[in-house]
Amino acid sequence: MADTVNHPNYTLCDNERLLCSTVDKLSNASHLAVDLEGANLGLAGGSLSLISIKDASESTSQAYLIDALAFNAEQLRPIYDLLESDVVTKVMYDGRMDYSALYHEKQVSLKKVIDLQLVDIKSRAIRGEGADRQLERLNPSIRRKELELNQRLYTRVQKLVGLGDCLKEHDVPGSKGGVDHNEWMKRPIPASHLQYAASDVANISLLYQKFLENEYLGKVSTEESQRYISMWRDKTPSPSDRYRLHAFLPLNIIEYDYGLTKTCEGCARGLPRSCFSATAWNVNFQELRKTLSRLSCHSCTNAGFQVGLPRLSRI
Ligand SMILES: [Zn+2]
């Protein structure tokens, strides 16, 4: 039997016959682990290379790696239909780049997603983490002195973790390797890259099964996941956009506040009062621009002013 953790089985779909049989098999699943690969995936100027899909409920199931360059849009339509389906749940880990690539490059809107990165954050309280640990996670991204001085600004800022660290934190026996992401557009796709892509969806499946077992999944709604993955629907982030590529959970994704919004000068999202300091909310941005560089939401304040923030574009 294949090593389902480190060397999961996969089928590379690069001809129509294989694509048809793959669609038939995947259509029977209720939950699909989905992950996309590409060069600067989801960023301005980026390109989609591969769509990896696997039945999330079956540890031993095949991963299907669909070569997006081998087919035209019409041929890929049955796969796009699955991604846009309101019936089949897509299980993802930080689906923001994937959504951005599909939406902006292929005019495909991912739907019915459960994003395990959000589930991880919600599980922290269930695992007994309190306010102290939530702040502690922000260091060293935010300096300890700043956290002590302005603690109230950070009570709603959550540190995101990448898939590899998340597997470790939840004692899931997967591992996250690394490949040169500049090589995703090469054909034939290097075997190391195919193995990496297959491992990613296998890891997502294992994490999904663990969260299911621990009853964490019900803590995140599909609305929260949809809000998260589609947050760059307005435009693809530029590769140097520090306000969109930082490692903090953007505000107003979970703990959603309705009401009046103001546009953050960092991430350019319309956000409610709770996301800004009193100064940033009350002042007229035009007036104060003369003296302050930016008036941003709590997440962007640090994305803007801290040096050396970890980036999340490839975790
Ligand atoms: Zn912001």
CA of 130 to the centre of ligand 1 (A): 24
Residue 20 — pLDDT band, cuts 50, 70, 90? very high
CA of 125 to the centre of ligand 1 (A): 24
Question: For residue 92, which phi and psi values (nearest 5 degrees)?
Answer: -135, 165
Q: What confidence tens digit (pLDDT) does each residue in 119-177 have?
A: 999 999 999 999 999 999 999 888 889 888 888 888 889 999 999 999 999 999 977 88
Structure tokens at 120: 């991880």
Q: What domains, with CATH codes, occur in the chain?
A: 10-120+161-229 (3.30.420.10), 129-160+240-305 (no CATH)
Please give the residue that has the higher pLDDT: either 240 or 90. Answer: 90
C-alpha 190/C-alpha 127 separation (Å) is 40
CA of 250 to the centre of ligand 1 (A): 7
CA of 267 to the centre of ligand 1 (A): 4
C-alpha 20/C-alpha 229 separation (Å) is 28
CA of 1 to the centre of ligand 1 (A): 48
Of 18, 124, 121, give the one whose Cα is nearest residue 62: 18
Q: Check whether the bond before 140 is cis (ω within 30° of 0).
A: yes
CA of 306 to the centre of ligand 1 (A): 14
CA of 86 to the centre of ligand 1 (A): 30
Q: Is the pLDDT of residue 216 over 90?
A: yes
> Is residue 94 within 8 Å of 250, Cβ to Cβ?
no
CA of 27 to the centre of ligand 1 (A): 39
pLDDT at 313: 33
> Is residue 88 within 8 Å of 82, Cβ to Cβ?
yes
Pairing of strands 270-272, 261-263: antiparallel
pLDDT at 217: 96
Burial class (CB in 10 A: 0-12, 13-18, 19+), 167: buried
CA of 236 to the centre of ligand 1 (A): 16
CA of 225 to the centre of ligand 1 (A): 19
For helices 16-26 and 73-84, give the axis angle rounded to 10 degrees: 10
Give the range among 62-71, 107-116, 204-213, 282-291 with minimum mean pLDDT: 282-291
CA of 149 to the centre of ligand 1 (A): 20
